[in-house]
């Protein structure tokens, strides 16, 4: 068993703090470390669980006083997987529904339904999808195939054999929890007969073995909107795994990544493209043609005397702005290629060009080194 951090420390509150302070501290930390805000971050996820566990204990006056007296050992001697810990995942879901219910929309409701009786909410699923920049530009409908579970069609998710129904658990009377005296206080724990479900299935359904769901490969169409960004997560509510014994389904999360493009770099809705032009085009002027992501060709005019690093903006030829009719711009960044592998004739022409050049032809480089020298000599005086 790993060493556990003090619950008060986890939430950053004093031992004497009141319920209001406790709740505020929890809410703040839970928001900060919520997996939805930290996708794929295992450290944040672990922290999030710790916070939930600490709050779960401290918000309950009975558990809090047990914790104050006995520390973590108050919750570790349940034996047989019982004690508070057994309840933990379901009650944690309740806490988060409390806090995040409004924020998460339908998800909170689903959890609450699943919290009672033998039904359990199905797991959320993650699907990684990679698309090209062209696909992000146009948007698309992606057909995906997800290994998941669906509700059993024989028992309609109840898990009970046709003609029978689950019946209330005789040990806990359908509550799913039993109370047991321990020391000075009584502890509520998961019912050992029904494992907290509150129901017992005497004759399980032959097809699903009492689970109420079956594994299946599901085909789904996912709408990828034009302008979607790398790292976006799309949530498909209720498209995750079917719930256990008729509980609500989980959600499906699509984690989207956009492949790097050979010619275009993206920054938000703007695109950047590096275009090398010849030294003579840069000096004499000219034009070139680029193909943009919509497949159209755009001619870019190069003025006489264009310098390295010059940037041209082509309006409206960037990426679409998500859920709007606006478009970003395309920025063309010029680099100038110095000619290589010169023939004798080319060399002669360039040498002749050099001989008849004046300082007006190259104002930046003319006198650069003498100016630099003067500058530093001036400093040392
Ligand atoms: Zn079934
Ligand atoms: Zn029971």
Q: What is the rounded average pLDDT for all residues in the chain?
A: 84
The proportion of the chain whose per-residue pLDDT surpasses 90, expressed as a percent, equals 45
Give the Å distance between the CA of 188 and the centre of ligand 2.
12
pLDDT of residue 60: 82
270-278 vs 330-337, strand pairing mode: parallel
pLDDT of residue 3: 65
Q: Which residues contact 12 (CB under 8 A, 6 or more apart)?
A: 25, 29
**pLDDT tens digits, one per residue of 49-84:** 888 888 888 888 888 888 888 787 776 543 333 333
Distance, C-alpha 120 to centroid of its chain: 24
Q: Which residues contact 293 (CB under 8 A, 6 or more apart)?
A: 133, 134, 137, 264, 271, 317, 319
pLDDT greater at residue 118 or residue 184: 184
**pLDDT tens digits, one per residue of 290-325:** 999 999 999 999 999 999 999 999 999 999 999 899
**pLDDT tens digits, one per residue of 161-208:** 988 888 888 888 888 888 877 677 778 888 888 888 888 888 999 999
pLDDT greater at residue 264 or residue 381: 264
| Nearby residues for ligand 2 (ion, Cβ within 5 Å) | 169, 171-172, 191, 193-194
pLDDT of residue 380: 72
pLDDT of residue 323: 87
> Torsion-angle region of residue 197: left (phi > 0), alpha (psi -120 to 50) or beta?
alpha
Considering every ligand atom, which ligand is closest to the CA of 164? 1
- 85 pLDDT band (50/70/90 cuts)? very low
Considering every ligand atom, which ligand is closest to the CA of 159? 1
pLDDT of residue 16: 87
Give the Å distance between the CA of 191 and the centre of ligand 2.
5
pLDDT of residue 278: 97
As a whole number of Å, the end-to-end CA separation of the chain is 72
Considering every ligand atom, which ligand is closest to the CA of 210? 1
Looking at the DSSP bridge assignments, the partners of residue 223 are: 141
**Predicted confidence (pLDDT) at residue 117 exceeds the cutoff of 60:** no
Q: Is the pTM of this model over 0.75?
A: no
């Amino acid at each position: 068993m790993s060493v556990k951090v003090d619950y008060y420390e986890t939430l950053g509150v004093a031992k004497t703090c009141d319920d209001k302070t406790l709740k505020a501290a929890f809410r703040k930390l839970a928001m900060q470390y919520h997996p939805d805000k930290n996708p794929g971050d295992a450290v944040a996820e672990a922290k999030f669980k710790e916070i939930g566990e600490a709050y779960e204990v401290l918000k309950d006056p009975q558990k809090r006083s047990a914790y104050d007296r006995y520390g973590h050992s108050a919750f570790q001697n349940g034996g047989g997987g019982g004690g508070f810990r057994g309840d933990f995942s379901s009650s944690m879901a309740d806490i988060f529904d409390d806090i995040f219910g409004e924020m998460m929309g339908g998800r909170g409701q689903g959890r609450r339904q699943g919290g009672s009786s033998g039904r359990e909410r199905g797991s959320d699923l993650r699907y990684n999808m990679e698309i090209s920049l062209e696909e992000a530009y146009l948007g698309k409908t992606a057909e995906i195939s997800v290994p998941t579970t669906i509700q059993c069609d024989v028992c309609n998710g109840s898990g009970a054999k046709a003609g029978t129904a689950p019946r209330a658990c005789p040990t806990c009377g359908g509550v799913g929890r039993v109370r047991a005296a321990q020391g000075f206080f009584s502890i509520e724990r998961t019912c050992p007969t029904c494992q907290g479900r509150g129901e017992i299935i005497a004759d399980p359904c032959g097809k699903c073995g009492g689970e109420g769901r079956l594994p299946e490969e599901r085909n789904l169409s996912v709408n990828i909107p034009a302008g979607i960004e790398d790292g976006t997560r799309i949530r498909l509510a209720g498209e995750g795994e079917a719930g256990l014994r008729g509980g609500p389904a989980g959600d499906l999360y699509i984690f989207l990544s956009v492949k790097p493009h050979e010619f275009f770099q993206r920054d938000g809705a703007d695109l950047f493209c590096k275009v090398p032009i010849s030294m003579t085009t840069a000096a004499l002027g000219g034009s070139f043609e680029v193909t943009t992501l919509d497949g159209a060709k755009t001619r870019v005019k190069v003025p006489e005397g264009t310098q390295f690093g010059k940037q041209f903006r082509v309006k409206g030829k960037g990426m679409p702005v998500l859920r709007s009719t606006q478009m970003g711009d395309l920025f063309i960044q010029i680099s100038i290629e110095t000619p290589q592998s010169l023939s004798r004739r080319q060399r002669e022409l360039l040498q002749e060009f050099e001989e008849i050049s004046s300082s007006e032809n190259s104002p930046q480089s003319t006198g650069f080194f003498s100016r630099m020298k003067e500058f530093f000599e001036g400093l040392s005086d």
